[in-house]
Amino acid sequence: MQMHLDDGEASPEVTVTPFNGVYWGPLAPLTVNGAHEMLLLAIKGRKDVKLFTATAFNRASDTPCASFDIAIDARSGDGCGIFRTIIVEAGRHEPHDIATPAFWYQCEKPEEVVAKVHKHLADLKFFDNFYSYVAAAIDLIEEEHNQRIH
């Protein structure tokens, strides 16, 4: 993958590890301050929701690449989750915090939500096209930042 600078000049080529899907570690508590806005919008108005996160690892390299952030509403048995990654581009000061929309499921345990979000995204071939999705999300963020779209 080769990124281009704002003036159209190509930056030095960067080696990108192939992305062959993910696996994840155990769930850990997540604070509201650490939660992505997509997750917070999905749970807006719900009371007593518990937040968790699980680090996602790239299968090809065994390196951390993202997280599954989930919210559990114990009263209703509902759980929702997002897949979230933070991308740092060379020459940029702020990282891009990119997330999928929240997906809702009935669940008995928080771990079930992670597995269901993963399966849904895998069925959509999201992980097969991960870099394309990330590039499109960054382009959208840049357009919004430059107030070309809103």
H or E segment to which residue 119 belongs: helix 110-123
Average pLDDT, the chain: 83
Q: What is the mean pLDDT of residues 24-28?
A: 95
What is each CA distance from 26 to 81, 114, 137, in whole angstroms? 15, 10, 27
Residue 68 covered by a domain: yes
Residue 9 covered by a domain: no
Phi/psi class of residue 8: alpha, beta or left (left: φ > 0; alpha: ψ in -120 to 50)? left
Structure confidence by residue, pLDDT tens digits, 96-127: 888 999 999 999 899 999 999 999 998 988 88
Residue 56 covered by a domain: yes
Residue 115 covered by a domain: yes
13: its two tokens: 């080529």
Q: Would you say the pTM of this structure is higher than 0.85?
A: no
Number of compact structural domains in the chain: 1
Residue 4 covered by a domain: no
Q: Which domain holds residue 88?
A: 22-145
Residue 138 CA from chain centroid, whole number = 13
pLDDT at position 76 over 80: yes
What are 46-52's contacts with CB under 8 Å, separation 24+? 46/71, 46/73, 48/73, 48/74, 48/75, 49/73, 50/74, 50/110, 52/27, 52/28, 52/110
Residue 93 covered by a domain: yes
